[in-house]
Structure 1
Amino acid sequence: MASGGNTRLYINERNATPSIFNEGARDSILLMQTIDISRYLKKGENIIAVWYAPGRIRNKSKQLSLEFHGWYIGSVPFYHKADETWWCKPLKGGSYNEKEHFDNRIYTTEWKSAEYQSAGWVHPTGAFKDSTNYIFVDQLPYLTQNKLQMVLEPYQEEFDHQGCRIDFGRPFRGTIRLTIRNASKGTTLHINGNQYVCSGEMDEQAYYRIHAEHQKDFVITWDKGFRRSNITNIEGLEISE
C-alpha cells in the first residue's frame, strides 16, 4: 500500500492498520507498506476498505495504490489491485487540513461493510494516467514508529464553565483521548483547534483520528450545556517516534 496521505485499512470491518497514525509520506517520499492480513480473512467474500486522508503530496490522478496478493487453498497464488472497479465516497462530516474536523453524528461504520448504501459512491477516474515518477522506499525502517508506547494520566487539570486545560506533565507525541457520556447530540468540542461533534451515544471517544501532535498541554473548549461530568476519562496516548 502506498499513498500521499494518511490511511487506515479495514478487512471485514476490522482495523488491520499496524500503526495508530499510518503515514503515507514523509519528507516528500512515499512509504510503501506491506501488511499481513491473513488473520482478518474469512471463507467466501472478504471486504477490503480504506479510510484515506490526502496529504501534502498530491496528484489528482493518483491518490492511493493498493495491491493484494497471497495464496488460495492448495497453494494457488493470486494477485489483485485497486482499480477503476473500486468504489469511492467522500466522508461526510470529516475533514483534515492541518487540523481535524470529525462529526460523530454522521459517521457510520456501514461504509466499510457489505451493508454499505450504494448511493453517492462513484468509481475512481484517471487513476492509471499518471506518468509522474515518485521516490519510493520500503516502510520497514518506520514500522517501529506510530505504535502505542504509553497511556498517560493527566498531571494537572484546570476547568471552568467554558472548557479546560489538561497538562500531562511533559511533552509527548500522540493524542489526548476523552471518553464522553451523556453529551447532547451535536455538542461541539474544540481540542487544540481540532473539532469533534458529539453523537450523543454512550461512552463516545474524542481524539485525533488522522494525525498526531507533539504537545504537553491540551486546551479544550465546549458548547454551553456541556459539563465536566460528561467527561468520564482523560488519557494521553503516546506513540513511538
Structure 2
Amino acid sequence: MRGWLLTFVLWTTVLWVNARQFNTHWVAAPDTDSLAHVWFRTTLLSSARHHEAHLTIATTGLVKVYVNEAKVGTALFYPSRPQGDTTTIALTLDVTPYLRPDSNVVAVLYSPGFPHATRRQVSAVFYGIDSKGQRFAYFSDNSWICRHAASGLTADGHEWVDGRWADTPWTASDFDAALWRHAVETTDDENATAPFAQQQTAPCKTYTACLPAEKIVRSRGYNYFDANGNEVSYDYGRGFRGLVRLNLREARWGEQIETAGLRYTCNGQMDEQASPVFAIGYQRRVTVTGDRYFRRDQITEAEAVDVAPIFIDNTFQ
C-alpha cells in the first residue's frame, strides 16, 4: 500500500511537458564554457512584503538557490540526476519565509552536471501574491547578472574550489558589482541552429511537491589514518556515497590541497573548511596531498559526509 501511494504521489507531481510549453526563459553566462560554475543573481523591488511567493527553477545541470542570503531548503543541492543526464528539470520552491518588505535578492549557483557547454543553464520565474492580493510574476532575462564562481569542474570531471574567493558575499543585497556581467538570454534567432533547436524542444521534467535532491544524511569520523611524507590517507571502515570535508588550521594563503576529487586553494584564515560544492562520489579510503607547504597537522578533522538522493517534501523543506 505504501509503495502504491508513493508511486501515485510521484506520478501526480512529475509532469513531462515541452520546454516551450513550460515557458522557460533561459539565461546563461556570456562566456559559457564546459567547466565553469556560475553565480547568477537579480534584485526584485517591492513596496511591501509579499503575502506569498514561489520560485520555479529549471536547469539542465545542478543548482543551489538563495533568497536574501538564505539557502533555500535543506538539500545539499538540486536536483538529483544520473551522471551524464541533461534533461531539463524544473523545481518549484516555496520561498515565502525568506521574503523581505523592500527588495528580494534571488541568487543561483549553477554547475553543469558534467563537463559540457550549454546555453540552457538556468530559467527562473519568481511569482506569487503581493501585499494587495494581486498576482505577480518575474521571469529570468538579461537583467540578471552573472560571473564565474569561486569553484568549477576540472577536465576529468572533478572539482576545484578557490577558498580565497569562496566567501564573496554574492547573495547579499550589498555586494561588489565589479566583474559582474549581464546574463545572455536565449533568443529566437539562436533556434536557427539544429542542435540548439533540438535542445529547446527537449522535454522538461517538472516537480512541484516532492523535489529530487541530494541531501546530507549523516557525517562521521575516520577509523584510522596512515601518514607518508606530505600525504595522509584516511580509512572510514566502510564505503560511502558522499564527500569528505576537511577542517584546516593555519594553512597558508594560496596553499594547494587535493583530496577525493577536490583541488582546494587555501584562504590563509586561522580556520577554514575544504569540501566540494557539488561533487559527490563513492569512497572508503581517501588520500590527502598538498604542495610543499602542506602539513598533516593542518588537518584538524576529516569527516565522511554521507549524501543520499531523496525526494524532499516542498511543504516542509
> Of Structure 1 and Structure 2, which has the larger fraction of its residues in helix?
2
How far apart are the structure 2 equivalents of 1:95 and 1:148?
Answer: 21
- Name the residue aligned to 1:169: 237
TM-score of the superposition, structure 1-length normalised?
0.89
8 Å CA contact retained: 2:61, 2:86: no
2:95 is aligned with 1:37: yes
The 8 Å contact of residues 62 and 126 in structure 1, kept in 2 or not, is answered as no
Q: Which residue does 1:96 correspond to in 2?
A: 153
Structure 1 position 148, deviation (Å)? 1.3
Q: Which of these residues, 217, 222, 228, is aligned with residue 290 of structure 2? A: 222
Partner residue of 2:69? 13
For residue 177 of structure 1, report the CA deviation from its aligned partner. Answer: 0.5
Cα displacement (A) at 1:208? 1.1
* Contact in 2 for aligned 1:21/1:212 (Cα 8 Å): no
Q: Which is further off, 72-81 or 16-25?
A: 16-25
Matches within 5 A, 1:1-241: 1-23=57-79, 25-26=81-82, 27-56=85-114, 60-91=118-149, 93-97=150-154, 98-129=157-188, 130=191, 131=197, 132-139=200-207, 143=211, 145-241=213-309
Q: Which residue identity does 2:297 align to in structure 1?
A: S
Distance 1:193 1:210 in 2: 11
TM-score (norm 2): 0.69
CA distance in 1, matches of 2:212, 2:61: 19
In the TM superposition, what is the alpha-carbon distance from 1:236 to its structure 2 partner?
1.0
Q: Identity over aligned residues, as a percent?
A: 27
Contact 2:246 2:275 in 1 (8 A): yes
Alpha-carbon distance between aligned partners in 1 of 2:70 and 2:59, rounded to the nearest angstrom = 20
Q: Which sits farther off after the overlay, 165-174 or 27-36? A: 27-36
**Residues 167 and 218 in structure 1, CA contact (< 8 A), matched pair in contact too:** yes
Listed one character per residue, the Cα deviations across residues 27-56 of structure 1 (whole Å, up to 9, x for unaligned) are: 342221111111111111111111111234
Provide the C-alpha distance between the structure 2 equivalents of 1:175 and 1:228, rounded to a whole number of angstroms: 19
Return the letter of the residue paired with 2:306. E
Query: 1:162: how far off?
Result: 1.1
Give a deviation string over 1:111-152, Cα, whole Å, max 9, x none: 222222222222122423354211221346973641111112
Given that residues 167 and 217 in structure 1 are in contact (C-alpha distance below 8 angstroms), is that contact kept between their aligned partners in structure 2? Answer: yes
SS in 1 for 2:132: coil
- Greater Rg by CA: 2
Whole-Å Cα distance in 1 between the matches of residues 265 and 212 of structure 2?
32
Q: Shift of residue 83 of structure 1?
A: 0.6
CA distance in 2, matches of 1:141, 1:115: 33
Unpaired segments ≥5 residues, structure 1 = none
Q: CA shift at 1:102, angstroms?
A: 0.9
Q: Which runs of 4+ in 1 moved over 6 A?
A: none
CA distance in 2, matches of 1:213, 1:152: 16
* Counterpart Cα distance in 1 of 2:160 and 2:142: 29
Cα separation, 1, equivalents of 2:208 and 2:115: 20
Query: Distance between the aligned counterparts of 2:129 and 2:238, measured in 1?
Result: 48
**1:72-92 alpha-carbon deviations (Å, 9 max, x no partner):** 12322211111111111122x
Unpaired runs of at least 5, structure 2: 1-56, 192-196, 310-317
CA distance in 2, matches of 1:215, 1:74: 53
Q: What is the RMSD computed on CA atoms of the aligned residues?
A: 2.2
- Residue 190 of structure 1 and its aligned partner are, at CA, apart by 0.5
After TM superposition, give the deviation of residue 57 of structure 1 in Å. 8.9
